[in-house]
Chain A
Amino acid sequence: MEKRRIHIVDTTLRDGSHAVSHSFSPEQVKAIAGGLDKVGVSIIECAHGDGIAGSTINYGFSAHNEMDLIKSAHEVIKNAQQGILLLPGIGTIEDLEEAYENGARVVRVATHCTEADVAIQHIKAAKKMGMFVCGFLMMVHMATPEKLLEQAKIFEEAGADYVNLADSSGYLLPADVTDRIKVLVEGLNIPVGFHAHNNLGLAIANSIAAVEAGATYIDATCRGLGAGAGNTQLEVLAAVFDRMGYDTGLDLYGTMDVAEEIVEPIMHRPQVIKTAPLMLGYAGVYSSFLLHTYRAAEKFGLNPRDILVELGKRKMVGGQEDMIVDVAYQLSQQKN
């Protein structure tokens, strides 16, 4: 039997950007993208953690001009496709055009899991430019499989080439992933992908559940570098999928070397599941809130855990980093 082909989307230079507070330099981008390009990943995503034009007070300013980073990646990518993320409401079609000029050929247009229609204009614009387009639903633990299918169909109708589900809070259990991916694979005519966070230590298990349910695109990052407790660890995934008999096109030793020799030295901290990221997964809070929550907790003299629980209760969605300040302020008022 022929091995099933699984496309690996590396997002070290996008989701991983959160974990280094958006400080990647053009040199670091060249080293990482150049390394990844040689080990067989299908797509290399490079952008601010909150997507292009995410460099703001709210999400953290990029230390280096984002378009220069995209251009730097473009200079070294020969085999893989180069991608970006775009969150409608933050990035615009104008930003997309600029990223295209600098070398991006894949765009993943990301919305909250119930708001797919805001991406229609961006998907159509990207298709018109000849890009490979993914409709990306975030925080998918907050919607039922049926609701996700309805939303994914909006992407499909707008012209998306594949749909990706993101467990942005790292909240899903493997059975939840299976249910969601299965319904999409059965109901759509385009491929389905999955993006995990490791807040409950389930990123690899959930990635396995996704491919077993029919997903053919899986997100990963070197050393798991990413928001919250990070993402699915690329080199581990390469080993696991190899053992399971999937064809990822990855060179296992190559991915190990990129992770250990290039990415690990520039990490700000080991990507482990400390209390706060565990709380993200437990309470269903957007993983990118983590470092912002630490800062607010320190400033207002609070326990990060209390802020995260309140954010979960308020059902805040991706992009609402400003509400961390609101919650911290309100909690500090109650305390005094």
Chain B
Amino acid sequence: MAEGKIKVGIIGPGNIGTDLMYKVMKSKHLQMDFMTGIVESEGLARAREFGFKTSTDGVQAVADDPEVQIVFDATMASAHLINAPILKAAGKTVIDMTPAAVGPYVVPCVNLEKLGDVDNYNMVTCGGQATIPIVNAINEVADVEYAEIVASISSKSAGPGTRANIDEFTQTTKKGLETVGGADKARAVIILNPAEPPVMMCNTIYTIVKNPDEKAIKEAVEKRLAEIQQYVPGYQLRVPPLVDGNKVTVIIQVEGAGDFLPKYSGNLDIINSAAISVAEKLAEKMLSK
């Protein structure tokens, strides 16, 4: 096992960026180092209180820092399109939390090992991180012709970025279900529910399969569940695979770790936990070189 830690920078000190910071602080191979934004903010102040470097020079500040090796971009798609080439030129490895998709989609338990050398990883969407692993597991044993997911999240945990661009969520998730999940065709639906107390993130995964072998499907889903739980402990089955003809229905729930964001924000927690999982694997590789 590799020793030591890799220094990490985070661009975007909002909810996602701050929760990432808390998760990096708990990591074995990652060292929180630099938080940057474009204006002074609560998030930057919080990072300073913890003793980390901060700057309002955004992407440039991390790009110019020789010690930072892994950078999380927690801004938005349009900003990442500008940030990506700057970070690439500076030789940083980037984990893109936005739907910009400059680099390939990555879902840790599905395709991280297969991606090879990549310097920009895209985290798809929260709904994608929650559902692609299950679709992929079913696809491996039953051949998924069509996958359809319904992600319901509490209104409180849908940030202004998601709200202003809800089409981006459905379209990016659909593409992820096809390219990483392995479905021939896919659809994604997102529902915001304002109920109080806030509802947990819940995802329904429907698939139409060619080989509806119930036993094989149940085993594959159970196995995948254990793999996801390694990086998202609050990931649980609500309804185990129901096989009805060639239709399979699975419902899962994601309870967040509550690092910075409330536990009902399982949607934000799963994408952040997945991103940390990617960064840790990268750090291990860097440290063993």
Contact = CB atoms under 8 A, between A and B. Distances in A.
A93 interface: yes
Interface residues of B, number: 33
Interface of B: 146, 148, 150, 152, 155, 163-167, 169-171, 187, 189-195, 199, 202, 204, 206, 208, 238-239, 242, 244, 247, 249, 251
B167 A57 contact: no
Nearest to B203: A322
Contact of A88 (B155, B167, B251): B167
Interface in A295-336: 299, 314-317, 319-323, 325-326, 329-330
Contacts of B244: 299
A320 B152 contact: yes
Contacts of A314: 195, 199
Interface residues of A, number: 31
List the 9 shortest-distance A-B pairs measured between CB atoms, nearest first: A322-B204, A315-B195, A92-B167, A57-B206, A89-B190, A114-B194, A322-B150, A319-B191, A329-B239
B186 to A, nearest CB: 11
Interface stretch (A115-123, A169-177, A178-186, A260-268): A115-123
A1 B70 CA distance: 74
B242 A120 contact: no
A22 interface: no
A93 B167 contact: yes
A71 interface: no
A329 B242 contact: yes
A126 B114 CA distance: 42
Given A56-B189, A325-B251, 20 more contacts: A57-B206, A58-B148, A58-B150, A88-B166, A92-B167, A92-B171, A94-B171, A115-B192, A314-B199, A315-B193, A316-B193, A317-B191, A317-B195, A320-B150, A320-B152, A322-B150, A322-B204, A322-B251, A326-B202, A329-B251
A313 to B, nearest CB: 10
Contact of A57 (B148, B152, B165, B169): B148
Given A57-B247, A118-B166, A325 B204 contact: yes
Contacts of B247: 57
A326 B238 CA distance: 7
